[in-house]
Copies of this chain bind each other. A is one copy, B any other.
Amino acid sequence: MVVKELEQSVKQYGQLGLKESNRGIVDAFNVAISMISAGESRLELIQPLGEGNVQNFLEKNGEGLHHIAFAVEDIEKKLSELSEAGVELIDKTPRDGFGGHKIAFIHPKEFSGVLVELVEE
Contact = CB atoms under 8 A, between A and B. Distances in A.
Interface stretch (A21-29, A59-67, A90-98): A59-67
Contacts of A16: 70, 116
Interface string A79-100: 0001001010000000000000
Contact of A41 (B15, B18, B39, B45): B39
B8 A112 contact: yes
Most chain B CB within 10 A, of A38, A63, A113, is at: A113
Nearest to A1: B114
Interface residues of A, number: 34
A74 interface: no
A112 B65 contact: no
Contact of A64 (B8, B40, B41, B113): B113
A3 interface: yes
A12 interface: yes
B70 A38 contact: yes
